[in-house]
Structure 1
């Protein structure tokens, strides 16, 4: 799990409950696991969902709500209780804290107050950011063209990351028409992205995980729809909701994009912490990288997230040199994956990941090194990024026909 806090809320007052829900749904650091309108049902909600935080509004019945706090504090000690009330009466606050509430929040709630309270709970539960608490890393795997190896990179990167017992990793196949991540993993999923999108408003984290297919490597897969017409129900908004739920459920999310750079792909790209742009050292691929980077620079903050990965490096015939490619692109190559066509065909046809089929192969080591680099968190510094943008922008325009420098 990532250090996103899972929250359950109870408030019999519809207006204040909806206000609290809206505030919670607008926060990236939390996931609203469940909300409830009856105090007597809330212990069952806590038992079924085991949230990190239970938010209890007191105003509908202060005595009953304080009894509820005491009951949950005894039965679910791992759930931090936040009490909320319009009252600032000292006796009420004292009773609430003695019953077991971790924080007392005054309604109407200011977002800064809620954020500060949740940060204190998060620090107590996960530790400070320096001591291991971390949010979900989202890697969007994009291609400079079809056939460059984005799916093989996504699947095998996910399997390598999942080997670490401290990671929980999911793979989302966003190639809605022709995605084949399930083939690479020799999986026949019971549910697809279309099923999850259809029920996303009713899903919680436990139901989501039961909707995914778990591979023997530990990687969870959410595949593309089976029927082509099912992809019509998938929109940018629904993808953002699915990514939000996956983000709350896993430490790492890998998104295998289509090659169309559709609105759905772009929604995933904008949600990503890193964009892995897979290319080869040939002219059509490098021209497409230039074209894509020109477009990415028009979206604030996007180009700085892009890492260029060269696949099939070392292919003997006709490749552009790495030095020439760097000059053309105006930026460094993040990682190189060596050419090993025979091994890749074998693992794809057998539906077995590299770490199982060919653990000592050079391509497997290349994927491991890519994973290590990504987990190292060595984002490009602002100064270096500004230099690459300043130096690279003119190079993009010089290289792309019809563009003015």
Structure 2
């Protein structure tokens, strides 16, 4: 999981403020929530944005800066304050710390010193609250092929998570051409992923949430672009910036990936804490699972964090047994979702999530269990790890079994 500190800074000196901004924007563990050029306005900025850390530069007026630190430490004790000055005078440092600053850093700021100071501030700040760090779990959901129900799972997992106490959840539709997460939620969004990507430098957390579509479950949706041509404005770099802002805004992010495994999909798979691969128990799906897992080996830790979810389990089509599927994939199955075609069709056509349409259905409980098991553990299941330990040789043999006899080499 990635911890992100939200910062607000005040510095009347334009030069040093821009220098600090440039340094902060290059750090992926912080998000610059707000900046201010007047001491007298900064208390209002902190009130409106509630940052984790407030950085107060003292060089323009050390007296006003120290007074501001004392005021903020009393009125906003949850905001850790960091003082910055080009002076190393011991008396000034003592007054600053007595006023309530957690750290004192020297200007011009050294990147290593800033990272260390923010690390200490973060540990102190979160340790004093509930012993937990502010974190965001990123869950990527992909399908072994089209039509296996990966979007249905993404939407319903997101809605289940959004109803849990203490969570804030965003669902991002990454299928640029044919994504339909908005249809599953009966939503008509005002803004899309393309809009956010194009305006990321102008957005703060409040503007971001107003740009997303909020569902009655509490879930926030960021849909795919309306026009096909708009997808061109989104690249891996802009997506990473969007991801950074989303991480600072939500406790959980769920990305519904496309079936093309494009550079955007792979970017999210690399950044995700959990990667869910949805499959069915048929030959095309299982062959794709093996093929994908072989490809995932090329990306650091991706194979290990991928979890296999079998959808429509129990579908009586004379297909492949679960035992045979496990042997074929060389991996255990993390979860199974029962086949309930009638309920899922109603859910999709009505644009209502399972927890609302069919809260007591078996498929709904299966999704709840999946969410509980997933967010409650940060590593792959032991059985999956054991299967991985069997080595590449077993996987290669399984892969060869997929090809028709006449095409084996």
Structure 2 equivalent of residue 63 of structure 1: 63
Structure 1 equivalent of residue 151 of structure 2: 151
Instruction: Please give the secondary structure, in 1, of the residue aligned with 2:372.
Output: helix
Two-structure CA RMSD over aligned residues (Å):
2.6
Tell me, which stretches of 5 or more residues in structure 2 are unaligned? none
Equivalent-residue separation in structure 2 for 1:79 and 1:390 (angstroms): 46
User: Which deviates more from structure 2 when the two are superposed, residues 136-145 or residues 388-397?
Assistant: 388-397
User: Which deviates more from structure 2 when the two are superposed, residues 16-25 or residues 350-359?
Assistant: 16-25
User: How far does the alpha carbon of each residue in 1:189-222 deviate from its partner, in whole angstroms, 9 at most, with x for none?
Assistant: 1211111112111111111111111111111111
Structure 1 equivalent of residue 118 of structure 2: 118
Tell me, which stretches of 5 or more residues in structure 1 are unaligned? none
Q: Is the contact between residue 157 and residue 368 of structure 1 (CA under 8 Å) also seen in structure 2?
A: yes
Q: Is the contact between residue 332 and residue 384 of structure 2 (CA under 8 Å) also seen in structure 1?
A: no
Q: Given the superposition, is the C-alpha separation of residues 131 and 12 from structure 1 closer, same or farther in structure 2, using an over 3 Å criterion?
A: closer
Structure 2 equivalent of residue 254 of structure 1: 254
- TM-score, reference length from structure 1: 0.91
Structure 1 equivalent of residue 334 of structure 2: 334
Equivalent-residue separation in structure 2 for 1:134 and 1:93 (angstroms): 29
Equivalent-residue separation in structure 1 for 2:365 and 2:344 (angstroms): 13
Instruction: Please give the secondary structure, in 2, of the residue aligned with 1:136.
Output: strand
Alpha-carbon deviation of 1:392?
4.6
Alpha-carbon deviation of 1:49?
1.8
Alpha-carbon deviation of 1:172?
0.5
Q: Given the superposition, is the C-alpha separation of residues 152 and 365 from structure 1 closer, same or farther in structure 2, using an over 3 Å criterion?
A: same
Alpha-carbon deviation of 1:336?
0.5
Alpha-carbon deviation of 1:243?
1.0
Q: Given the superposition, is the C-alpha separation of residues 17 and 379 from structure 1 closer, same or farther in structure 2, using an over 3 Å criterion?
A: same
Q: Is the contact between residue 3 and residue 122 of structure 1 (CA under 8 Å) also seen in structure 2?
A: no
Equivalent-residue separation in structure 2 for 1:129 and 1:179 (angstroms): 40
Equivalent-residue separation in structure 2 for 1:61 and 1:121 (angstroms): 24
Across the two proteins, how many residue pairs are aligned to each other? 403
Structure 2 equivalent of residue 140 of structure 1: 140
Structure 2 equivalent of residue 357 of structure 1: 357
Instruction: Please give the secondary structure, in 1, of the residue aligned with 2:135.
Output: coil
Alpha-carbon deviation of 1:46?
2.5
Alpha-carbon deviation of 1:110?
4.2
Instruction: Please give the secondary structure, in 1, of the residue aligned with 2:66.
Output: helix
Alpha-carbon deviation of 1:383?
11
Equivalent-residue separation in structure 2 for 1:115 and 1:355 (angstroms): 43
Q: Given the superposition, is the C-alpha separation of residues 384 and 362 from structure 1 closer, same or farther in structure 2, using an over 3 Å criterion?
A: closer
Instruction: Please give the secondary structure, in 1, of the residue aligned with 2:217.
Output: coil
Alpha-carbon deviation of 1:74?
4.6
User: How far does the alpha carbon of each residue in 1:32-65 deviate from its partner, in whole angstroms, 9 at most, with x for none?
Assistant: 1123444455344323322121112223443343
